[in-house]
Amino acid sequence: MEQGADLTRTQRGPNAVPVRFVDTPTRTVAAAGVRFVYRELGNGHDGVPLVGLTHLGANLDSWDPEVVDALAEGRRVILIGYRGVGASTGSVQGRFEDMAKDMISVVRVLGWSRVDVLGLSMGGMVAQEILRQAPQLVERVILAGTGPQGGPGLTEMTRVMVRNILRGVITFTPATTLLFFTRTSTGRQAAKAYRARIKQRRAGRDNPVTPAVFRAQLRAVNLWGQRQPGANTFTGPALILHGDSDRMVPVENVVPLLARFPHAGVRVFADSGHGVVPQNRHAVTHIIERFLRR
């Protein structure tokens, strides 16, 4: 862990920002009473940064390096770890409302008053809470493989995860392969390539995710799935990305998401599961780049 890392972006200066995910140091920042780990990279030294919020059961090393590097070609990208996950201190949060408060605090401590947000799966749920609590903080939002409060099938995520993890144990198949990718030849190849890419970073890796994190985050998804959506106060541009064969967050969630973000752009990828972003990384990063372009 890099020491003395809770410096402002001005103090670090543009030359201190790496441009490759595998070279990016893991920094820490004090916010909301704990220390959060984050990684910051990219060529964009001015303008609005892109904040990345990852999926359930993930740490900073779960980001696909090729996705992050492509997004960082033209802008600054900030990947933030959740409280109690990986090397972030404190106890893991069990509600997206509290996770959102944490992320808002981190962004503001880092010195940003406006950001774009990319939320993957659970990160998209946290992103929606950020929009509710601080709509003025976010200019543009990308929601990938996620659903709104009360979305179809969200209360079944625990059952889906447990069933596929057990299947993975029996068949000696990584859980991410079964949960994130389709079982077609295309899906199997994409899963193998993704597993290889997330191993590219060898030094300065984040701490492993504990079973307590999985339990707390699954509870948060279950609560999210039981609730009816409140008023949406965000009026900025939105982009919805989903796989047509998502087992964890069924594609039927796109319809109620679009009802909440009626002006959003939507792209549903064929033969794609919950790992819609890494599986379609070239097309997805191109779409995101165009969406974020001012």
What mean pLDDT is predicted for residues 76-99? 98
Decide: helix, strand or coil at residue 9.
helix
CATH code: domain of residue 132:
3.40.50.1820
* pLDDT score of 230 more than 90: no
State residue 18's pLDDT score: 72
The answer to whether residue 3 is domain-embedded is no
Is residue 4, in this structure, part of any structural domain at all? Answer: no
Alpha-carbon distance 195 to 284, whole Å? 18
For residue 8, pLDDT beyond 80: no
User: Does residue 1 lie in a domain region?
Assistant: no
Total structural domains in the chain? 1
Q: Whole-model pTM? A: 0.92
Residue 111 has phi, psi (to 5 degrees) of 100, 15
Q: Which domain holds residue 208?
A: 9-292
Instruction: Give residue 17's pLDDT band: very low, low, confident or very high (50, 70, 90).
Output: low
Task: State the DSSP string of 198-260.
Answer: TT---SSPPPPPPHHHHHHHHHHHHHHHHSPP------S-EEEEEETT-SSS-GGGHHHHHHH
pLDDT score at 294: 79
Q: What is the residue-averaged pLDDT of the chain?
A: 92
CB 41, CB 14: distance < 8 Å: no
Q: How confident is the model at residue 232 (pLDDT cuts 50, 70, 90)?
A: confident
**By C-alpha distance, which of 262, 261, 274, 282 is closest to 146?**
274
pLDDT at 21: 95
146, pLDDT greater than 50: yes
Closest CA to 221 of 285, 281, 145: 145
